[in-house]
Amino acid sequence: MFYDRDIKNRLMLGTAQYPSPEVLRAAIAASDVEVITVSLRREGSGGAGFRDILRQSGCRILPNTAGCHTAREAVTTAHMARELFGTNWIKLEVIGHADTLQPDPFGLVEAARILCADGFEVFPYTTEDLIVGEKLVEAGCRVLMPWGAPIGSGQGLRNIGGLRAMRAHFPKVPLIVDAGIGAPSQAMLAMELGFDGVLLNTAVAKARDPVAMARAFAQAVTAGLDAYRAGLMPARDMAQASTPVFGMAELLA
């Protein structure tokens, strides 16, 4: 549940960088996603064809504040997005470092507090830092979106221990891995760790076949979720035979 809304498909797809509007439309259909993210700047430059895709997709729109470097910029962009898309959902990005695109934790918490008080349902793009997570929850966020790795890097889950600790620290808060996922196996791992969703863009949009890759990611996320719910076996230091020794035939010399 994300802000009291049940989302069955836990893959969320970005809408930038696709080779054509037709490929974007086909990728959304192939993945059967229910939530797509859209930046206000992308919508403004996409033209009528892009807006038609958004409208016809049947997906819930999660606008984002991509490109904002201050809390003030992010808050202003969020208000514009709410007017344009008619939703209180907002993916909040406040970038603090130009090269890594790492979030600015101070600006992020400040913007989250303002937007939550103004009725927004905020999905904050953050790191796996537990203290920042606590501050965002205290500000009113009911979802957290820690990165797996820097945006667009395809490095996967660089800090598995940190993500696992975050899952344990926030057992009742929906957590979505956002950014850095480059392969379906990495998305599956995030779900096997107990995360509630995966948001990605570049790995699909820049694939040789974005439509096939979108389908692969959707299958991987479903498989990871099923595996987590089924109960993964714990890793062991030693081998353990699956066939018992008791009852085996004794061969006499």
CATH number of the domain within which 167 lies: 3.20.20.70
65 appears as a binding residue in the annotation = no
> Domain for residue 252, yes or no?
no
Predicted TM-score of the model (pTM): 0.90
Question: How far is 92 from 145, CA to CA, in rounded Å?
Answer: 9
201 appears as a binding residue in the annotation = yes
Question: How far is 63 from 163, CA to CA, in rounded Å?
Answer: 25
Asked whether the beta carbons of 62 and 14 are under 8 A apart, the reply is no
> Domain for residue 2, yes or no?
no
> Domain for residue 246, yes or no?
no
pLDDT tens for each residue of 126-183: 999 999 999 999 999 999 999 999 999 999 999 999 999 999 999 999 999 999 999 9
The two tokens of residue 177 are 């891995």
- Overall domain count for the chain: 1
Higher pLDDT, 47 or 252: 252
> Domain for residue 5, yes or no?
no
Give the pLDDT score at 231.
Answer: 95
pLDDT tens for each residue of 3-47: 999 999 999 999 999 999 999 999 999 999 999 999 876 555 555
Higher pLDDT, 231 or 43: 231
pLDDT tens for each residue of 87-119: 999 999 999 988 888 999 999 999 999 999 999
Give the pLDDT score at 46.
Answer: 56
pLDDT confidence bin for 246, thresholds 50/70/90: low
> Domain for residue 1, yes or no?
no
Query: Percent of the chain at pLDDT above 90?
Result: 79
Sign, CA dihedral 225-182-13-78, equals positive
Give the pLDDT score at 41.
Answer: 65
> Domain for residue 253, yes or no?
no
> Of the ranges 10-14, 79-83, 238-242, which one carries the lowest mean pLDDT score?
238-242
Give the pLDDT score at 98.
Answer: 83
Residue of 8, 91, 172, 206 marked catalytic = 91
Classify the phi-psi angles of 156: left when phi > 0, otherwise alpha if psi is within -120 to 50, otherwise beta: left
Domain of residue 95: give its range.
11-230
Averaged confidence pLDDT in the chain: 92
Q: Is 91 labeled as catalytic in the residue annotation?
A: yes
Question: DSSP string covering 102-135, please?
Answer: -B-HHHHHHHHHHHHHTT-EEEEEE-S-HHHHHH
202 appears as a binding residue in the annotation = yes
> Domain for residue 102, yes or no?
yes
